[in-house]
Amino acid sequence: MSAVDDAVAAIRAGEPVVLPFDTVYGLAADPNSEQSVERLYRLKGRDATQPSALVARDVDHLLECVPELRGGPERLVRELLPGPLTLVLPNPAARFRWLTGTTPSAIGVRVPDVAGPTAEVLARVGALAATSANHHGGTEPAALDDVPDDIGSQAGATVDAGRLAGVPSTVVDLTGDEPRILREGAVAAADLLRRLGASVRST
């Protein structure tokens, strides 16, 4: 079996895996299984009150996962994704509540601009729950060697794609009247807000 086969098998078995994204190495699991996401959180050492992203293979599949995004937010989603962004969007049906932390009315979503093995994994599983493959508060891993040993050894599979950019996604909250940058990362806040036609307003 290839590394992609191993990763897909592990995800389907409910195990978290380490994958290279378009930003950093991530820890990913089946987003449709609350137990799988709980295992991911335990391995990372992340509190369940903290949200994680829903990562889809493409925008169309994202809209299948969260159909309430059709219409209103869809235009922005298609304008901004794929790319190294996490969009926090309204989640009126409280879907994937085990990914949304203390705010089930909002969900963070990603469609990474990624090729190679992770694109193959996403093509086969459709979507993932994902966060960076480090301990909570640690440095985001740019290479597989940067992933903490206990995370790498306990993951169901690991996929190596060499050194990545090492800068996490920029997180923008689009649930309010104006966009708010929650974390500046791979996309400069000023550039993103300019694209959105908004004045710079960050937290």
DSSP per position, 100-132: STT-TTEEEEE-----HHHHHHHHHH-EEEEEE
Is the per-residue pLDDT at 199 higher than 50?
no
Residue at 119 is within a domain: yes
Is the per-residue pLDDT at 200 higher than 60?
no
Residue at 66 is within a domain: yes
- Degrees to nearest 5, angle at CA 172 with 30 and 127: 15
The pLDDT score that the predictor gives to residue 202 is 44
Residue at 201 is within a domain: no
Residue at 144 is within a domain: yes
Residue at 189 is within a domain: no
Residue at 185 is within a domain: no
The CATH number for 167's domain is 3.90.870.10
Four-residue CA torsion sign, 24, 121, 36, 17: negative
Q: How confident is the model at residue 116 (pLDDT cuts 50, 70, 90)?
A: very high
* Residue 22 lies in domain: 3-171
Residue at 188 is within a domain: no
